Amino acid sequence: MSDEWFLQTGHGVRFEWGPEGARRVGAHVACLVVVDVLSFTTAVTVAVEAGTAVHPYAWRDATAAAYARRVGARLAVGRREVTERSPWSLSPAALRRAPFTPRLVLPSPNGSAIAAAAGEAATVVAASLRNASAVGAWLARHGYGVRDRPVAVVAAGERWPDGTLRPALEDLLGAGAVVAALRERAPAVTPSPEARTAAAAFTGTPDPAAAVAACASGRELRGGGFPEDVAIATELDAASVVPVLSGGAFSSRPIADRN
């Protein structure tokens, strides 16, 4: 069986799930949009809004600390490990309260791992419900979404205890919001059936914020004592930043910039 069928070839806008989906489509598109609503890409929008360059990294371990030292960045800690000396974490709420740092290494086994693995093979953008419209406008402005300039929107998903992918509603809605925004601004784009269905999931959800708050991942975060993270993640189109990966870090690009 040919991998071609799974690359959604012939379509300018593609949709996939998780690290493996990103690996398969990433080498065959001009742009890869990573969506990890709870919470990597939401955290990226918060940090980038403050002027921080965010370095994605797959794991929070000794190698992450060494990498942070090498690039001259602070290392984000776990949500429950925030202290006065280490106030930066994957929690968007903690990042809003933390003092400014020019560079931050933000490990995450889902969205951050996908972004770090994608590297510079394609233009990599971080999207969430907070900045979906801005990302859609930026993609349209740069001509992404047509057959000779394809874009793949990848929902990061979560992981089951055995490490396998758990598709996550919040990331489906975030990815769908990006596709819907791109289609609205560039009607000539050619979405795959997968991308069209992701967009329909978002546009067909009467209250996406309520859906994210009530879904499994939202309940997990709220039950774990982080309701503010869910609230920030569901600030629909509150952010105008478009975080683009360059030189190993995400920083904001204006919608009208040129590649």
Q: What is the pLDDT along the chain (259 residues), one digit of tens a residue?
A: 457 789 999 999 999 999 999 999 998 999 999 999 999 999 999 999 999 999 999 988 889 999 999 999 999 999 999 999 999 999 999 999 999 999 999 999 899 999 988 866 689 999 999 999 999 999 999 999 999 999 999 999 999 999 999 999 999 999 999 999 999 999 999 999 999 999 999 999 999 999 999 999 999 999 999 999 999 999 999 999 999 999 999 999 876 664 5
Q: Is residue 251, in this structure, part of any structural domain at all? A: no
When divided into structural domains, the chain yields a total of 1
Q: Is residue 247, in this structure, part of any structural domain at all? A: no
**Torsion-angle region of 171 (φ positive above 0: left; ψ -120 to 50: alpha; else: beta):** alpha
Helix axes 193-203, 169-185, angle to 10 degrees: 100
Q: Is residue 224, in this structure, part of any structural domain at all? A: yes
Q: Which domain holds residue 201?
A: 3-242
Query: Where is 150: in which H helix or E strand?
Result: none
Q: Is residue 253, in this structure, part of any structural domain at all? A: no
Q: Is residue 100, in this structure, part of any structural domain at all? A: yes
Give the pTM: 0.95
Considering only CA atoms, which of 215, 210, 175, 213 is closest in space to residue 194? 175
The neighbour count for residue 218, using CB atoms within 10 Å, is 25
Q: Is residue 34, in this structure, part of any structural domain at all? A: yes
Cross-strand pairs, 158 = 166
| CATH code for the domain of 140 | 3.90.1560.10
